[in-house]
Structure 1
Amino acid sequence: MPHTLKSAVHSELIIKKSRFIGCVQPMTDRASAQAVVDVLRAEHPGAAHVCWALLAGGQSAAVDDGEPSGTAGRPMLDVLRHQDLEGVLATVVRYFGGVKLGAGGLVRAYTDSVAQALLHAQKVERRVMVELECTLPYAQEGLLRREVESVGAQLVDVAHGSQVIARVQMPQPEAPAFITRLNDLTQGRIGWLNGGAPPMR
């Protein structure tokens, strides 16, 4: 089961006068990761490189930011993969100290920066959420609300038209049983619009 991180954790290494400031943090998608990297660039205008790696399903990335190809982003991504992480961004800000490290030295430096931060990070089980959308008669709205509350799901939105249209968010593994139970309780008067597809980000 993949894990993500509870919160951001930092590390700092000095290697042959170069300063490597590492950070690992939970991250859902590439656009959010890019925004974090942009902030780091603004906060560290004197840095030589801001390298990063994102492990987030189809939106994963490995960026060397001017370091020799394959010496920063890819090794950072490999560390995240080896730790069975998902939904995690690793960033390393490098201030160049005047001494070149060579390709092997760079790989070790970026790998160690991420690994050091992960040593202190708290991992949490990653729960994939889905969003269910359904329609049902007005008379069944109270029933739906009670069932949502009883399983600890979240009622994201309720709209009232010719029928009640509701959106419910819950952990993916629990969705099939929830759908079956509501089908039974409403005697089939509930209609499912998306069948439990993961919510669009």
Structure 2
Amino acid sequence: MTHYKTVSTPSQAEYKDRGSRFWAYAFPITTVDDFKKGLKTLKEEHPKAAHHCFAYRIGTDGNNFRASDDGEPSGSAGKPILGQIDSKGLTNVAVVVVRYFGGTLLGVPGLINTYKTAASLALQLSPIVEKPILVEYELQFDYTRMNEVMIYVKRYGGVVLQNETQLFCMLKVGVPKAEEKVFTERIGDLRGVELRKV
């Protein structure tokens, strides 16, 4: 696997069922902190909502995910939301569904359907993009080599994640998995450049 799918921009959708209103928000994230900031903002925007249910998935190994029913019956909200993220094969994405209670109980099957539908609507409104899976490397080299190193980083689609520039430079880069072999060979050809996989 050399690429992953995610949403490119935040989106929101509204869904109503028997008086209850559901606002669904989908947004891209790369860390749990990104998600926490997004959830905090939505809680501030909707302080009177009955529930802020959510699910997110981060990374490409499939192990970093979470789903929350936030007071709804167990399994009736978070799991259906996560199911929508997974059915589209997405990662680095969060979906929060905010519920305003309308007075009528929907029952567990009704809730599952409602949270699933709301999440699906929000995800449909956000363009899905394919991004390369990046492999992280740390490069150490003399400042005079900076131009040569940057030529290779750019040529092979690399992204600079961290840059400490003094007389001696330390660069942390993310290299697309598909270009990893040729990138490491080319950088290895440069004299005085140390390469280490992070």
Report TM bin, short chain: 0.7 to 0.9
Q: What is the distance in 2 between the residues matched to 1:71 and 1:11? A: 19
Which residue of 1 is the match for residue 193 of structure 2? Answer: 190
Would you identify which runs of 4 or more consecutive aligned residues in structure 1 move more than 4 Å? none
- The Cα of 1:20 is off from its aligned counterpart by 0.4
> 8 Å contact 1:30–1:59 — kept in the other structure?
no
TM-score, normalization by structure 2: 0.87
Instruction: Find the counterpart in structure 1 of residue 148 from structure 2.
Output: 143
Q: For residue 78 of structure 1, what is the amino acid of its counterpart?
A: G
Give the Cα separation in 1 of the matches to 2:76 and 2:93: 19
Q: Normalising by the residue count of structure 1, what TM-score does the alignment of the two structures yield?
A: 0.86
Preserved contact between residue 49 and residue 94 of structure 1 (Cα < 8 Å) = yes
Q: 1:135 to 1:76 in 2, by over 3 A?
A: same
Is 1:100 the counterpart of 2:100? The answer is no
**Helix, strand or coil for the counterpart of 1:125?**
strand
Question: For 1:43 and 1:164, how far apart are their aligned partners in 2?
Answer: 44
One of 96, 114, 118 as aligned partner of 1:113: 118
* The structure with more radius of gyration: 1
1:60 aligned onto 2:65? yes
Please report how far the alpha carbon of residue 42 of structure 1 lies from its aligned counterpart in structure 2 after TM superposition.
Answer: 1.5
Task: Pick one of 8, 17, 20 that aligns with 1:18.
Answer: 20
- Alignment partners' CA distance in 1, 2:150 and 2:173: 10
Distance 1:154 1:53 in 2: 28
Alpha-carbon separation, structure 1, partners of 2:156 and 2:51: 47
Whole-angstrom CA distance in 1 between matches of 2:12 and 2:99 = 14
The one-character-per-residue Cα deviations of 1:48-78 (angstroms, maximum 9, x if unpaired) are 0000000114331100000000000011001
Q: Which amino acid aligns with 1:29?
A: T
| Displacement after TM superposition at 1:138 (Å) | 5.0
**Secondary structure, in 3 states, of the residue corresponding to 2:171?**
strand
Q: C-alpha offsets along residues 94-146 of structure 1, whole Å, 9 cap, x if unaligned? A: 00000000000000000000111222221000322233212234553432233
| Stretches of structure 2 lacking an aligned partner (at least 5 in a row) | none
Letter in 2 for 1:119: Q
Q: Which of 142-151 and 38-47 deviates more?
A: 142-151
Pair 1:160–1:7, CA change in 2 (3 A): same
Q: CA deviation at 1:13?
A: 0.9
Instruction: Report the structure, 1 or 2, having the larger strand content.
Output: 2
Alignment partner, residue 170 of structure 2: 165
Query: Across the two proteins, how many residue pairs are aligned to each other?
Result: 192
